[in-house]
Amino acid sequence: MSEKTYLQALNEALRQEMERDPNVFILGEDVGQFGGCFGVTQGLFDTFGEERVMDTPITESTIVGAATGAAAAGLRPVAELMFVDFIGVAMDQLFNQAAKMRYMFGGKTTVPMTLRMPQGAGIGAAAQHSQSLESWFMNIPGLKVVIPSTPYDAKGLLISAIRDDNPVVFLEHKLLYGMTGEVPDESYTIEIGKADVKREGSDVTIVATSQMVYSALEAAERLKADGIEAEVVDPRCLQPLDKETILESVKKTHALVVANEAVSFAGPGAEIVALAAEEALEYLDAPVKRVGAPFCPVPFSPPLEQAYIPNADDIVAAVKSIR
Amino acid sequence: MALSKKTLIHMYETMNRIRLFEQKLQEFFAAGEIPGFVHLYLGEEAVATGTCAALTDTDMITSTHRGHGHLLAKGGDLKLMMAEIFGRQTGYCKGKGGSMHIADMHLGILGANGIVGGGGPLAVGAALAAKYKKSDDVAVCFFGDGASNQGTTQEALNMASAWKLPLVFVNENNGYGISCPQCKSMAVVDIADRAAAYDMPGVVVDGNDVLAVHEAVTEAVKRARKGQGPSLVECKTYRWRGHFEGDACTYRCTEELEEWMAKDPLPRFEAKLLESKTLTKKEAENIKERIVADVEAAVAFAKESPMPPVSALMEDVYA
């Protein structure tokens, strides 16, 4: 076990899976010598060569589609899009081809493809390079949606995603690449669809994903000073969603706040509060609250961008409004 | 090109199988017995047949929403196809795919596709897998004139050529993208001209001449197997029916249809086989009779098969 960044954890997951299984390969824009837009694939080209770390033309549709076709033909591709925002270009190949192939073909095929995409605001990349689009993918039957927050989770979940026989959308957050944490050197898996309680508490459940987990933990520390013990639940995967862990926590704390960086309206939080309303309403002592981005594109200018991204203040305020 | 008698007879059978299968579908669709859409391949039989006769069982194809011909030519099972089109549990996709989504992984059929231009990137993936595994397989991407204008098709042509993938693009130019004639949707007359942009061979063949298609595709497949990269074979043909069954076809004239029907690929091929004494009239009749019986058996199989149970609704979403 040693301290590693989220980026190093992802890189290690890729390297170990490529060493383990010759059918695993990488394709995407600038993933080769360049090492990936954010550096996740660094060094892999030198080890595995261009036959297994493939630089593609800038053609998102064909990156996703070729990964899908290769997966259906027996390989385990890991495709990278530089930014999740580019999935719009390739959406047909993801939601009409990869996600539906198995069902449409009556279960006669599997599509063991992993699609890694960085998302999130905070680096001044503006509206077309900063979105959080997880709710798009949650809404498509056939896809799995993984959204890790810690280096430990990132490595274990990426290994699980690569070994999974379904198309997995793996959402990384740009601001998390530099985050550090304890990560075992050896290969390990984390079950896809299993939430993690990042902090235990008795008074309110904060379900938070990706980079908002850190804001939720910060908020929890501040709430502690006011005598409120918050439980922070990180689903880690939005599809499948670990309903049990969320409901268990809500039944214990009797209050729920959901925090995500995606646009709040029709966002991932809507599903989680609906879950509580449908299955744990009688346990709730207060209205549920959602913390998420406002209904506008991500702005460029730093003060606007900071105002856009939900933070610990927003979570504290939400909790205090119900507790 | 000296093709064996066995190959020639096989091609003759395949063309007739597609023709008779689809004529039966036409009948049942008109009778209201088939749910959803049916896009018939009638008139285009020579393209699928000539192409797939150049392939092995492990070679892969991606198809289109007009896919029955491709699937049958690649060896698709009449009964399983018929049952699928009738929405039955015994069909290729357990009744979940229908006409536009039939696949058979054992025959290298990566599926018909309901999205125009959807198959190009998938074919790149299939060809990439063949190259990666260092197998001798090639992939064929069937696509129409409409799909040739989609970005995905152009991306696939580019990537396949840049990576020298074992991929053959077989363009079925039937003159119309739904109702829009080619002259209104593109400036080029020959889609094969676009191959030049990707530095790959592009050839135009008479898509109603099964031997011409076969010869061109065989050449392209050879090149692909040798690691020399993709080719584009444009097959000029015509669809006899509308875009879908029930299409009133007001956008084209009867004369044009008649002109093309006079170029029916089946009697043309049959005449050649009779002339070269590869086939006798009697043998030809026997073949057709046998296929008629096979198609009837497929219909009976489909009709006797149960509809899928509602309990299957949520099955196979995930592996």
CB contact under 8 A, A68 and B121: yes
Whether the pLDDT of residue B125 is over 70: the answer is yes
The model's confidence at residue A1, banded by pLDDT at 50, 70 and 90, is confident
The first and second tokens of residue B235, run together, are 């097959």
**Both A178 and A207 in a single domain?**
no
Q: Domain range spanning residue B159?
A: 5-305
* Within a domain: A191: no
CA dist., res. B111 & res. B102, Å (int): 5
The first and second tokens of residue B230, run together, are 């993709």
CA dist., res. A225 & res. B92, Å (int): 63
**Both A19 and A159 in a single domain?**
yes
The first and second tokens of residue B129, run together, are 């897998």
% of chain B with per-residue pLDDT over 70: 100
CA dist., res. B32 & res. B26, Å (int): 10
A230-234, strands of its sheet edge to edge? A196-199, A230-234, A204-208, A256-263, A289-293
Mean of pLDDT values over A214-233: 98
* Within a domain: B74: yes
DSSP-H helix ranges across chain A: 6-20, 44-48, 60-72, 87-91, 101-104, 134-138, 151-163, 212-225, 243-253, 268-279, 302-308, 312-322
On chain A, the residues whose CB falls within 8 A of the CB of B133 are 74-75
Whether the pLDDT of residue B1 is over 60: the answer is no
**Both A115 and A237 in a single domain?**
no
- Among residues A183, A212, A245, the one where a domain terminates is A183
* Within a domain: B314: no
Evaluated on CA atoms B310, B311, B312, B316, the torsion sign reads positive
Q: Domain range spanning residue A233?
A: 196-321
User: How many helices (H) and strands (E) are present in chain A, helices listed first?
Assistant: 12, 14
* Within a domain: A101: yes
Q: What is the mean pLDDT of chain A?
A: 97
CB contact under 8 A, A62 and B111: no
Mean of pLDDT values over B229-233: 98
**Both A167 and A249 in a single domain?**
no
Mean of pLDDT values over B260-276: 97
C-beta of residue B170 within 8 angstroms of C-beta of residue B233: yes
For A83, A167, A242, B1, the CA distances from A238, given in Å and listed in that order, are 19, 14, 8, 58
Q: What is the mean pLDDT of chain B?
A: 97
The model's confidence at residue B2, banded by pLDDT at 50, 70 and 90, is confident
**Both A173 and A210 in a single domain?**
no
- By C-alpha distance, the chain A residue nearest B132 is A51
**Both A159 and A266 in a single domain?**
no
Q: Which of A57, A108, A110 sits opposite B103 (nearest CB)?
A: A108
CA dist., res. B173 & res. B64, Å (int): 13
- Domain CATH for B157: 3.40.50.970
CA dist., res. B92 & res. B73, Å (int): 16
CB contact under 8 A, B124 and A66: yes
Helix (H) or strand (E) holding B151: helix B151-162
* Within a domain: B199: yes
Torsion angle, CA of A135/A136/A138/A141, rounded to 10 degrees?
160
* Within a domain: A188: no
For A52, A138, A194, the CA distances from A275, given in Å and listed in that order, are 42, 14, 16
**Both A72 and A143 in a single domain?**
yes
Q: What is the pLDDT of residues B176-205, one digit of tens each?
A: 999 999 999 999 999 999 999 999 999 999
Greatest extent of chain B over all pairs of C-alpha atoms, in Å = 56
On chain A, the residues whose CB falls within 8 A of the CB of B155 are 57, 59, 61-62
Q: How far away is chain A from the Cα of B260, in angstroms, using its nearest Cα?
A: 34
- Domain CATH for A217: 3.40.50.920
% of chain B with per-residue pLDDT over 90: 99
C-beta of residue B144 within 8 angstroms of C-beta of residue B116: yes
Contacts of B232 (CB under 8 A, 6+ apart): B157, B169, B171, B191, B192, B194, B195, B198, B200, B201, B202, B203
- By C-alpha distance, the chain B residue nearest A51 is B132
Q: How many structural domains does chain A have?
A: 2
Evaluated on CA atoms A208, A210, A213, A215, the torsion sign reads negative
pTM here?
0.96
* Within a domain: A126: yes
Q: What is the pLDDT of residues A70-96, one digit of tens each?
A: 999 999 999 999 999 999 999 999 999
Mean of pLDDT values over A171-195: 98
Q: Which of A25, A109, A142 sits opposite B103 (nearest CB)?
A: A109
**Both A21 and A148 in a single domain?**
yes
**Both A290 and A268 in a single domain?**
yes
**Both A225 and A157 in a single domain?**
no
- By C-alpha distance, the chain A residue nearest B118 is A93
Whether the pLDDT of residue B103 is over 90: the answer is yes
- In sequence order, the β-bridge partners of residue A259 are A208, A291
Mean of pLDDT values over A217-245: 98
* Within a domain: B77: yes
The label of the residue with tokens 């997951």 reads A13
- By C-alpha distance, the chain A residue nearest B106 is A108
Mean of pLDDT values over A51-79: 98
Mean of pLDDT values over B59-75: 98
C-beta of residue B69 within 8 angstroms of C-beta of residue B60: no
**Both A144 and A200 in a single domain?**
no
Q: Which of B120, B130, B159 sits opposite A56 (nearest CB)?
A: B159
Q: What is the pLDDT of residues B11-23, one digit of tens each?
A: 999 999 999 999 9
Q: How many structural domains does chain B have?
A: 1
Mean of pLDDT values over B253-261: 96
Residues of A noted as catalytic: 129
- Domain CATH for A69: 3.40.50.970
* Within a domain: B186: yes
Q: How far away is chain A from the Cα of B156, in angstroms, using its nearest Cα?
A: 6
On chain A, the residues whose CB falls within 8 A of the CB of B124 are 62, 65-66, 69
Asked if omega into A141 is within 30° of 0 (cis), the reply is no
The pLDDT score that the predictor gives to residue A64 is 98
* Within a domain: B81: yes
On chain A, the residues whose CB falls within 8 A of the CB of B95 are 106
**Both A175 and A235 in a single domain?**
no
* Within a domain: A242: yes
CB contact under 8 A, A61 and B318: no
Mean of pLDDT values over B25-53: 96
On chain B, the residues whose CB falls within 8 A of the CB of A141 are 317
φ, ψ (nearest 5 deg) of residue B96: -100, -10
